[in-house]
């Protein structure tokens, strides 16, 4: 598949036939030419236990590159770049297009973090459009509701942020209007697209517990007649096209406010949708408490990225309310003292020694994350202390190659490294709840011809969110469907109220529910920078708490193992997303290493599952050439411009 192939909704059937002939199991790569170098050069990817790394040669561009988890949405972004839009315009176009073609992962019913680097004046910011707890939310609102329950009901819905966030992005950093950049998404929703294999398989229509079937309307859309849609069949979403038109015509206010004279009624559909409960449950399910006032007051927030370094490479990533930057950088900094790239010392890619120290640093960082990270607008996250050199040394010193921390690591107290005079109190052993991998969340990256870069992770949390479309019953009894799924982001809060035992008297857990608070995220849109401050790489991933580890794996693959960008993404990943001794690895992780991790003396529990979906763009610092690489774990697509040319 040539990534330069033009894909329009009119040609969707033809495109899909070609796509299926070529196979979607392989990533859709640019086809030949220059290889973006790995950041080190001496180590090559060893043969993997199952298969070998896909051959890849990246094609170089100069007029912009998009790397997206879906080919139609990539096309939407490329089109906007061709129309004179910059990376921010393209990113907004992609985000709305993904709502149509990857609705299980993200959309206007959710929120995200858009990291933007503007080449002039050389500034990096993040627009935080994270969902927010409504004023009526309470710390105990999830008590007694297991994940299967709370994640499929209105109580889990946070005030959606994407529309305010994208409006702010365009206003402050874009070149085009909301109405212009929404056109590709409107066309996709109206004219339709050919169902991709992932669009179909994600629905799990044959399963009684399919999230896509949680409400009658969603069930009929994703599994018409109770069955899977055919791959390649035309999918339209006319109600969503109409919703997008309302936003295009009247701006974000038309999403957040009921304005009858302009026909703006989307907010009504959000309020009624989030009242959804599961009436057949005992005790009866729980709707949400969101009011129109919660929607009206929602604001996207401008954040400054947290900056750190790994072996000299400057990395910026997402601050609170995400745990992304703090945990990614803690893990990397703890690992800096180990020569991960040096096979002569038993390290190197995928060896038991490398896997062991990576797993231990993840466990230690996640123990801190569970206690110290949350929405810093509400709780005093010790961001400096968590990354202070002395604190990192204290934590890294817990790691002994060839051993496993037993009992599980606990949080320590970073506050003395941030603020003098505080004494550590009792430590707490904390394990996060099991993480649902599923289909929620998506990441894409964009660079434009001016050198502006976007790294954007967007989400409705679990696959299909609560599995309910926004919509409401009209006066005549008919149902007005707005065509987008509502998030279940509030499940990222602690389920049960906790306390932080480092405080005496104890204070509420940093990630407990509070009205107006944003739930702790793991989303880590990231960028790596050259010494002169110009961007080198934009990357990120979906995957719940495993997002953090996907970013860590790709960073190490580039810096320590000298892989090309595509190899770094394709290579099997290792993830530990709590203080527990349970490791997840991609199924093609070296089998001998998996055996060694399970055996004496380490005795880890190791499970196999796909981890993350990384989409990245890279700018060669010497030549300025632009490259993209996308993940075969989803339907990753790179389109570079101009389409006719490379190098």
Active site residues: 441
Q: Does 550 bind ligand GLY (CB under 6 A)?
A: no
Q: Which of 174, 440, 465, 525 binds ligand GLY (CB under 6 A)?
A: 440
Burial 369-400 (b: 16+ CB within 10 A, else e): bbbbbbbbebbebbbebbbbeebbebbbebbe
Range in contact with ligand GLY (rule: CB under 6 A) among 293-301, 408-416, 445-453, 520-528: 520-528
CB of 305 to ligand GLY, least distance (A): 16
CB of 107 to ligand GLY, least distance (A): 13
Instruction: For 440-519, list the strands marked E by DSSP.
Output: 442-448, 453-459, 469-473, 479-485, 499-500, 507-508
CB of 95 to ligand GLY, least distance (A): 15
Alpha carbon separation from 415 to 176, 366, 418, 422, 642 (Å, rounded): 45, 17, 5, 7, 51
Residue 179 and residue 186: Cα distance in Å, rounded? Answer: 10
CB of 424 to ligand GLY, least distance (A): 28
Contact map string, positions 398 to 437, toward ligand GLY, x by CB under 6 A = ----------------------------------------
CB of 492 to ligand GLY, least distance (A): 6
Residue 286 and residue 145: Cα distance in Å, rounded? Answer: 9
Range in contact with ligand GLY (rule: CB under 6 A) among 27-35, 246-254, 519-527, 616-624: 519-527
Residue 282 and residue 261: Cα distance in Å, rounded? Answer: 42
Range in contact with ligand GLY (rule: CB under 6 A) among 134-142, 179-187, 411-419, 518-526: 518-526
- Residues near ligand GLY (CB under 6 A), total: 10
Angle at 21 between CA 30 and CA 219, to 5 degrees: 100
CB of 457 to ligand GLY, least distance (A): 8
Q: Of 85 and 165, which CB lies nearer to ligand GLY in the complex structure?
A: 165
Range in contact with ligand GLY (rule: CB under 6 A) among 42-50, 362-370, 391-399, 516-524: 516-524
Q: Does 521 bind ligand GLY (CB under 6 A)?
A: yes
Range in contact with ligand GLY (rule: CB under 6 A) among 79-87, 330-338, 521-529, 617-625: 521-529
Report the DSSP pairing between strands 605-608 and 582-585: parallel
Residue 562 and residue 344: Cα distance in Å, rounded? Answer: 15
Q: Does 522 bind ligand GLY (CB under 6 A)?
A: yes
* Owner of token pair 């220059």: 34
Residue 271 and residue 154: Cα distance in Å, rounded? Answer: 9
Q: Of 414 and 540, which CB lies nearer to ligand GLY in the complex structure?
A: 540
What are residue 68's DSSP bridge partners? 637
Q: Of 37 and 155, which CB lies nearer to ligand GLY in the complex structure?
A: 155
Q: Of 327 and 566, which CB lies nearer to ligand GLY in the complex structure?
A: 327
What are residue 446's DSSP bridge partners? 66, 454
CB of 517 to ligand GLY, least distance (A): 14
Q: Of 415 and 443, which CB lies nearer to ligand GLY in the complex structure?
A: 443
Alpha carbon separation from 515 to 136, 290, 378, 512, 555 (Å, rounded): 6, 10, 10, 10, 36
Q: Does 544 bind ligand GLY (CB under 6 A)?
A: yes
> Which residues fall within 8 angstroms of residue 183, CB to CB, at 6 or more apart?
248
Helices (H), 202-278: 216-222, 238-250, 253-256, 266-273
> Which residues fall within 8 angstroms of residue 222, CB to CB, at 6 or more apart?
203, 205, 210, 212, 213, 229, 464
The H or E element that residue 607 is part of is strand 605-608
Contact map string, positions 199 to 238, toward ligand GLY, x by CB under 6 A = ----------------------------------------
Q: Of 36 and 165, which CB lies nearer to ligand GLY in the complex structure?
A: 165
Residue 317 and residue 232: Cα distance in Å, rounded? Answer: 37
* Owner of token pair 């061709």: 82
- Asked if residues 101 and 73 have their Cβ atoms less than 8 Å apart, the reply is yes
Tokens of 448: 């434009």
Q: Of 341 and 544, which CB lies nearer to ligand GLY in the complex structure?
A: 544
CB of 400 to ligand GLY, least distance (A): 31
Three-class SS state of 240: helix
Q: Does 575 bind ligand GLY (CB under 6 A)?
A: no
Q: Which of 294, 438, 492, 631 binds ligand GLY (CB under 6 A)?
A: 492
Q: Does 109 bind ligand GLY (CB under 6 A)?
A: no
The H or E element that residue 363 is part of is helix 352-372
Contact map string, positions 453 to 472, toward ligand GLY, x by CB under 6 A = ------x-x-----------
CB of 576 to ligand GLY, least distance (A): 16
CB of 156 to ligand GLY, least distance (A): 12
Helices (H), 129-228: 147-150, 162-173, 178-181, 183-191, 197-201, 216-222
The residue of the chain with the least Cβ separation from ligand GLY equals 521
Q: Does 452 bind ligand GLY (CB under 6 A)?
A: no
Range in contact with ligand GLY (rule: CB under 6 A) among 86-94, 392-400, 515-523, 571-579: 515-523
Q: Of 186 and 523, which CB lies nearer to ligand GLY in the complex structure?
A: 523
Q: Of 75 and 489, which CB lies nearer to ligand GLY in the complex structure?
A: 489
- Asked if residues 527 and 316 have their Cβ atoms less than 8 Å apart, the reply is yes
Q: Which of 364, 523, 537, 611 binds ligand GLY (CB under 6 A)?
A: 523
- Asked if residues 580 and 565 have their Cβ atoms less than 8 Å apart, the reply is no
Residue 544 and residue 531: Cα distance in Å, rounded? Answer: 31
**Residues within the interface to ligand GLY (CB under 6 A):** 440-441, 459, 461, 492, 521-523, 544, 547
């Amino acid at each position: 598949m040539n990534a330069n192939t033009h894909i329009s909704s009119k040609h969707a059937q033809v495109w899909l036939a070609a796509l299926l002939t070529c196979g979607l199991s392989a990533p859709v790569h640019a086809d030949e030419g220059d290889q973006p170098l790995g950041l080190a050069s001496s180590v090559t990817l060893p043969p993997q236990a199952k298969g070998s790394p896909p051959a890849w040669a990246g094609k170089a561009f100069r007029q912009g590159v998009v790397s997206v988890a879906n080919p139609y949405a990539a096309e939407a972004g490329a089109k906007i770049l061709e129309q004179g839009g910059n990376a921010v315009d393209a990113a907004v176009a992609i985000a709305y297009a993904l709502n149509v073609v990857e609705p299980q992962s993200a959309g206007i019913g959710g929120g995200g973090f858009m990291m933007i680097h503007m080449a002039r004046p050389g500034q990096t910011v993040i627009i935080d459009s994270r969902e927010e707890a409504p004023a009526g939310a309470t710390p105990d609102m999830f008590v007694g509701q297991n994940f299967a329950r709370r994640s499929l009901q209105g109580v889990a819905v946070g005030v959606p942020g994407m529309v305010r966030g994208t409006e702010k992005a365009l206003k402050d950093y874009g070149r085009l209007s909301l109405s212009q950049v929404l056109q590709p998404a409107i066309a996709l929703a109206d004219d339709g697209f050919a169902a991709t294999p992932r669009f179909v398989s994600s629905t799990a229509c044959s399963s009684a517990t399919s999230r896509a079937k949680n409400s009658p309307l969603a069930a009929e859309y994703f599994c018409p007649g109770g069955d899977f849609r055919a791959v390649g069949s035309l999918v339209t979403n006319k109600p969503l096209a109409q919703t997008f038109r309302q936003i295009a015509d009247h701006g974000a206010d038309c999403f957040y406010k009921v304005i009858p004279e302009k026909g703006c009624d989307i907010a009504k559909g959000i309020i009624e949708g989030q009242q959804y409960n599961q009436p057949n449950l005992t005790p009866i399910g729980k709707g949400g408490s969101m009011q129109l006032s919660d929607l009206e007051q929602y604001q996207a927030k401008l954040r400054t990225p947290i900056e750190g370094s790994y072996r000299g490479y400057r990395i910026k990533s997402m601050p609170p309310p995400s745990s992304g930057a703090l945990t990614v950088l803690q893990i990397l900094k703890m690992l800096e003292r180990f020569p991960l790239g040096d096979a002569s010392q038993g390290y190197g890619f995928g060896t038991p020694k490398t896997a062991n120290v990576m797993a231990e640093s993840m466990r230690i960082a996640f123990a801190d994350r569970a206690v110290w990270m949350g929405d810093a607008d509400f709780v005093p996250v010790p961001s400096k202390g968590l990354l202070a050199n002395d604190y990192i040394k204290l934590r890294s010193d817990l790691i002994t190659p060839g051993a496993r921390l037993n009992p599980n690591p606990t949080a320590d107290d970073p506050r003395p490294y941030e603020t003098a005079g505080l004494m550590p109190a009792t430590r707490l052993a904390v394990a996060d709840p099991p993480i649902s991998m599923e289909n929620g969340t998506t990441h894409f990256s964009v660079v434009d011809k001016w050198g502006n870069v976007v790294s954007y992770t967007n989400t409705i949390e679990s696959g299909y969110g609560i599995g309910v479309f926004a919509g409401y019953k009209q006066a005549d009894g008919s149902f007005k469907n707005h065509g987008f799924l509502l998030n279940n982001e509030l499940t990222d809060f602690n389920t049960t109220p906790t306390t932080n035992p480092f405080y005496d008297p104890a204070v509420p857990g940093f990630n407990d529910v509070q009205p107006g608070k944003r739930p702790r995220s793991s989303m880590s849109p990231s960028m790596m920078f050259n010494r002169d401050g110009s961007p080198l790489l934009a990357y990120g991933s979906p995957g719940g708490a495993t997002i953090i580890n996907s970013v860590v794996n790709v960073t190490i693959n580039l810096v320590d193992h000298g892989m090309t960008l595509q190899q770094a993404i394709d290579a099997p990943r290792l993830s530990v997303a709590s203080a527990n001794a349970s490791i997840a690895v991609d199924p093609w992780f070296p089998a001998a290493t998996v055996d060694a991790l399970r055996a004496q003396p380490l005795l880890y529990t190791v499970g196999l599952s796909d981890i993350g979906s990384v989409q990245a763009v890279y700018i060669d610092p010497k030549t300025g050439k632009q490259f993209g690489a996308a993940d075969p774990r989803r339907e990753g697509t790179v389109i570079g411009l101009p389409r006719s040319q490379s190098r």
